[in-house]
Structure formats: C-alpha cells, structure tokens
Structure 1
Amino acid sequence: MPRRRNLLFGLALAATATLALSGCASGGGDAGGDDAPAGEDYGLIEAGTLTVCSDIPYKPFEFEDPNSETGYSGFDIDLLGAVAEKLDLELAVQDVGFDALQSGTILAAGQCDVGASAMTITEERQANIDFADSYYDSLQSLLVRADSGIKSIEDLDGKTVGVQQGTTGEAYTKENATGAEVVSYPSDGELWPALQAGNIDAILQDQPVNIEHEKADSAYKIVEEYDTDESYGWAFAKGERAELIEAVNEALQELRDDGTYQEIYDSYFAAE
C-alpha cells in the first residue's frame, strides 16, 4: 500500500507540473501574453478602436459623409483615420458640442479617446487638456455679404458679428471688433444660416471654414484675414493618455515623412 500511494503521489505531481508549464506557454493569467487586443496598452474606451469626438459640421475639417465608413469625413477625420491605421486601430466618430470638448469636460468623462475639432492649442486649454503635436496652422477671417459695404473689422461698429462659442475667433472678436454686438452660436451649423438669413452682419472665425462658405455662395466673401499664430492640435484627457499621445505623435510624424499627410492636406487645401 505505501508503494502504491507513492506511485499515485508521483503521478499527481507530474500532472500538476505539466498543467503549470502549459499555462506558462499559453500566456495565461495576469501576464497577458502577446494575444492582447490592439490598442489595449493605450487605455482605449473600446479595445481596438480609436474613438474620436468632434463638433460637426465644421467643413473642411469635419462633416457628414454617408459614403465614409465612420459616417464622417474632413481633414481632421481623414488624418486621424490614417493615424489609426498606423496604430492598427479602427476609427469611430462621435458628434459633440465644441464648448464641452475644448473645456475638457467630455474627455475627462471618458466619452472619447481624442478630441479632433480644429482646436487651437492655447495656454488656457492646456490647463484642462493635453495636446498632441500640432498638425495645422490657421488664420482667422471676416466673412460678410459681398454687397454689405463692410471691408474690414473697423467697419463693424454698430454691426452684429456672429462667432462660435468657446473659440479663439470669439476671443479675437471681443478684443478687436470695437462697437460691434457679438453674438455667440454653438457651432458653425447655426452660425452660417444666421448670416444667410440676415440675422447677423458678419462671421469672424477660422479662415478655412469661411473659405468653404465663400465657395458655396458667391453672394458672400472674405474681406479680411488675421494672423493670430494659431496651431491646431488633437486633445486628450489631462494627465491620463501619455502613451496614446506618444503613439499618435509618432504616427503623425510617419505620415509627414511618407507623404501621406501632404496628400490628405492637398485634397482639402490645395486651392488655397
């Protein structure tokens, strides 16, 4: 009997060792192994997907496109799509309000991984959100009816100027449009129709967006541009996404180096 017990005990030990070795080889347990979903190290909201929040429409940076896989296109969307591809991730887009995005509220709440909405990098915003490297340099501009008689910002005294809430265009208008009534709108989706309806006399906002309106309707024109030394950046929750920001910056640089960035840029801005 003792001999049989020793034999059974030995077989049990061998079986235990085999199972332990099998577990190590398969990468099970807390170690994770090499079969983790793409993007897991970035702390993404959904593994394998880069979720983007953007204020839409803001053509040419973001606008609805039923022919796109995400339902949206634009310089921001296409460029981030190329970044996601570099990182072996899918791209998903959510339409949100700009003010909540630029304040960092939506990012802090974990609604999305990155904010991409033609957002200027400013010291004030950097107090609440982190930015990746800048990807676009922009100007502000003044759009009016061609027959309005308005030729510059000095002619806005007594006029009503529309701006987008929470933007650098709003800040610039309040500082420089002396005597004008400044009316803030949630997005360009309300701003542009207000000008067409005659509810405001002018729009002061990012030059590329006003260029799109100028192209769409010859009754309107840009009469003045303002060099405000603005650069756009993609936004992230403050202090929470260092690895993702680093990966996005590396991918963006690769896109610049291989010519993809320039191709996407030219598809939207070559005419400028």
Structure 2
Amino acid sequence: MRIHSTFTKALAVSAVALMSLTACGGSDSGDADSSAGGNELGLVQPGTLTICSDVPYPPFEFEKDGDYTGFDIDLMRAISDSMGLELAVQDVGFDGLQSGVVLASGQCDVGASAMTITEDRKEHLGFTDGYYDSEQSLLVPKDSDIKSIEDLAGKTVGVQQGTTGENYTRENVPSDTEVKAYPSDAELFPALKSKGVDAVLQDLPVNLGHQEDGQYVIVEKYKTDEQYGFAVNKEGSEALLKELDAKLAELKDNGKYQEIYDKYFSTK
C-alpha cells in the first residue's frame, strides 16, 4: 500500500509540474465553468476534484478492494458528483495536510482527512462548515489496569502526531507519562497490539473500529467540542470553498449526508 502511495504521489507531483508549464503557455481553460472542470474554482486538474487524505484512518478514509473509501471519501465523492466533477484521491502524511503544505504546493484542491477545525489551522487554511462532531477516547487492552487518563502515570501512551488528540494528550496526562507520536493510525494501533505502548488516545470513531470483538476497550471518552472540516488554501480558493459549503448543505438537505453517516456510524 505504501509503495502504491509513493507511486501515486510521484505521479501527482509530475502532473502538477506539467500543468504549471501548460498554464504558462496561456491555456483558455479558465473560460470553462466548474461543471466542465474549468479554472473558475482553481482546480489542480480541470474536470477533477483532487483531494489529499492521510490513509488509512478508518472509518474516515481507508482502502477497500483496491479503491479509497470511508466517511470523508464518500462525502467528497458525493460532493464532486453534484459538481459534475471526477474525484481523485492522493495519499499524503497528515503533517503536510494540517500545515497546508500539500495544498499550497498544488498537489490537491481539498484536504479531507478527519481534520479538526482549530484557530491555529485557520491562520493558514480555509475550512468548510463543520461536517462532523468528534470526541477523543482512550483505548487499552481488555486486561489492562488503565481505567482513566490518570492511570497513565508511569505508562506509555500512543498518539498520532500533529493531531488535536496529541495536543489533548500532552496537556492532560500525568507528568511522568511517556507520549509516543506516530505518523498515522497505520503505525499507532499496531504499536498497541505489539505492546509498544500501553494505551492509545485518539478520535473516538477510530478507536471504536479497533476494539476487535472486545480484545481492546475504550475506558474513557473526552468531549473537546471538536468539529471536522474540509480544508482548502487560505487564499485563492474562496470560490471553491463557497461551492463546497453549498454542496455540503445540499447533501444535508436531501438526506444524502445522513445516508453516508449511517453507513459508517449507525448503532443499529
């Protein structure tokens, strides 16, 4: 999967470079409307909404049967469909997303990766209206003596680097807790399984997917008033941001948002 991702990223960089050269040549594509994939929305690739996401991070983004899926991906696919655009997904690291680097470099149009809207991030990113309310949670093996965040004293807890979960952990664990940061959930949960860490503190929906029929349990949840938003460039993406908000509202009005939400979070 990482070999595939590296290859995909290389293609994306080449494509961006090629499009930059073409743009310098005086393309007339800017006269086309958004449904035809023109540049009114400042798209990286005309006719395509290109999103960057840190995969895997189930249930928000992951690979299944050779394709990308998940709550974020399905929402963005519904949005792109309603805009008359194809959808392309680039797998990138979360640090590059939350810092705005991959957007500023022209690798993608939108960051869609369970990204919490924060004041710090709003300084260098534009965010859509919130589309998901989240909580943090503490996951441990079922036979662990850790029952609360206070029990992490003298223990090791794993987090995903660059996330609000990491910030919450460092601000709230006992002073003698060792906090280990991992690039993504793909390394974080295996660290718990291999006993590299004693617990994992991260977004509740992700930990819910790691319970493995009771082998791991969530011992605490933390309300942090977090909302996820889709991210765009702070400057130059105003038209795209307006369109994304309009389409997101449309999905909520016509029931499509709820349909996608129930697919991943229904308790039935």
Output the TM-score relative to the length of structure 2: 0.86
**Per the alignment, do residues 33 and 163 of structure 1 end up closer, same or farther by CA in structure 2, a change over 3 Å counting?**
closer
Query: Aligned residue for 1:249?
Result: 245
Matches within 5 A, 1:182-221: 182-214=179-211, 216-221=212-217
Contact 1:40 1:48 (8 Å CA) reproduced: no
* Partner AA of 1:265 in structure 2: Y
Query: Aligned residue for 2:265?
Result: 269
Partners in 2 of 1:30 and 1:50 — Cα distance? 15
* Partner AA of 1:37 in structure 2: A
Unaligned runs of 5+ in 1: 1-28
* Partner AA of 2:63 in structure 1: E
SS in structure 1 opposite 2:96? helix
Alignment root-mean-square deviation, CA: 1.8
Contact 1:129 1:237 (8 Å CA) reproduced: yes
The answer to whether the aligner puts 1:92 opposite 2:88 as a matched pair is: yes
The answer to whether the aligner puts 1:181 opposite 2:194 as a matched pair is: no
Query: Aligned residue for 2:97?
Result: 101
**Per the alignment, do residues 126 and 31 of structure 1 end up closer, same or farther by CA in structure 2, a change over 3 Å counting?**
closer
The answer to whether the aligner puts 1:43 opposite 2:39 as a matched pair is: no
**Per the alignment, do residues 33 and 257 of structure 1 end up closer, same or farther by CA in structure 2, a change over 3 Å counting?**
closer
SS in structure 1 opposite 2:144? coil
- CA deviations on 1:171-230 (whole Å, 9 max, x unpaired) are 00000011210000000000000000000000000000000001x342100000000000
- CA deviations on 1:5-34 (whole Å, 9 max, x unpaired) are xxxxxxxxxxxxxxxxxxxxxxxx899477
**Per the alignment, do residues 38 and 174 of structure 1 end up closer, same or farther by CA in structure 2, a change over 3 Å counting?**
same
Q: Work out the percentage of aligned pairs sharing the same amino acid.
A: 59
* Partner AA of 1:54 in structure 2: S
Contact 1:160 1:202 (8 Å CA) reproduced: yes
Larger radius of gyration: 1
The answer to whether the aligner puts 1:54 opposite 2:53 as a matched pair is: yes
Output the TM-score relative to the length of structure 1: 0.85
**Per the alignment, do residues 41 and 156 of structure 1 end up closer, same or farther by CA in structure 2, a change over 3 Å counting?**
same
Q: CA deviation at 1:66?
A: 2.5
Query: Aligned residue for 2:119?
Result: 123
Unaligned runs of 5+ in 2: 1-27
Contact 1:163 1:191 (8 Å CA) reproduced: yes
**Per the alignment, do residues 267 and 201 of structure 1 end up closer, same or farther by CA in structure 2, a change over 3 Å counting?**
same
